[in-house]
Structure formats: C-alpha cells, structure tokens
Amino acid sequence: MGLRATLYQIAKEQYRETGQGKSYVDGIDESVTPLSLDRSWGCISYLITQDENASFLNTGRQCENVCEHCEAHSPEAVSELATYLDECESSTIMQRYDSHTLRHLGVYEADYPKIDISNYLVQFTDFVRSAKNVGNGILVVIC
C-alpha cells in the first residue's frame, strides 16, 4: 500500500512559525476542508513537474517533531504554483499521463483509472487556487 497525502491550508503567520517548535496543527485553517490526494499525489507531482524526482512544491520547510513527513509551503510558493496551474489547463497536464511511463519510473503504482487522476488534479488545482485567493500557504502531510 502506498503513502497517502493530505493537504491543509495554513495562514502566513503560522507558516513563518514552522520550524520554531510550534505544532503544525496550530496553524491549520479549519474553515477550509483538507484535501486528500490519497495515493495520487506522486502522479500529480510528476504530471505537473515532468520530473520523477521533483515535487509540485519544492520550497517547503520540513516540520519538526512529527512522525509523518510534514512540509509547510509559503503563500508565495502557493501563489506561484497557482499561477502556473492557471496558465496550464488540467486537460493539458493530463495529456502527459502515461501509465506505462509512470510505473517504469516508479512514480505511481496505484491502479486508479486516468479519470480518477484527472478528478484529483482538478481538486488539487481548485485547492491551490483557493489558498492563493486568501493568501494561505499549504501544509502537506504524507503518511
């Protein structure tokens, strides 16, 4: 079974405090429903970046004293990603989907149909845009 990713929006002030001993849950914007990308996060990362070693957000801060992989991303990084996603439609990104290539690179082993990945990508894009619109960062928890 693969690792699952959940994304949360965090306020700018809480992003600044990550890495200073504060619990990452202190900064979660509870008015926004978290986004579960389940096991599709690696595939989405690859489709956006076209690099099996990259992540859709490369400028995060690792949160300390948590058992999960937990990384906070600044509102500025989220804004840049949202701008990129606005310039490149989801349908264009999905044209990069090739299950054979994804499996060969070890990026994505799950058995989700292409339509499920497309739906996750749309949800992800909406989540990133929503965070940008209110000036929030994003917290990614992978476990």
pLDDT digits (tens, 9 = 90+) for 96-117: 998 888 888 887 766 678 888 9
Write down the pTM of the prediction: 0.87
- Average model confidence (pLDDT) across the chain: 83
Is the pLDDT at 131 greater than 50? The verdict is yes
Q: Looking at residue 56, what is its pLDDT?
A: 66
Structure tokens at 12: 């700018």
Q: CA 109, 110, 113, 118 torsion: positive or negative?
A: negative
Rounded to whole angstroms, how far apart are CA atoms 3 and 41?
Answer: 9
Residue 8 has pLDDT above 50, yes or no: yes
- The secondary structure element, H or E, covering residue 70 is strand 69-73
- Give bridge partners of residue 69 from the DSSP assignment: 142
Dihedral pair phi/psi, residue 10, rounded to 5°: -130, 145
Which stretches within the chain are classed as H helix? 12-17, 41-49, 75-87, 90-94, 99-105, 114-134
- 8-13: average pLDDT: 88
Strands 61-62 and 5-10: unpaired
Residue 38 has pLDDT above 60, yes or no: yes
What's the CA gap between 45 and 53, in Å, rounded?
A: 9
Coil vs helix vs strand at 55:
coil
The pair of structure tokens assigned to 125 is 């894009």
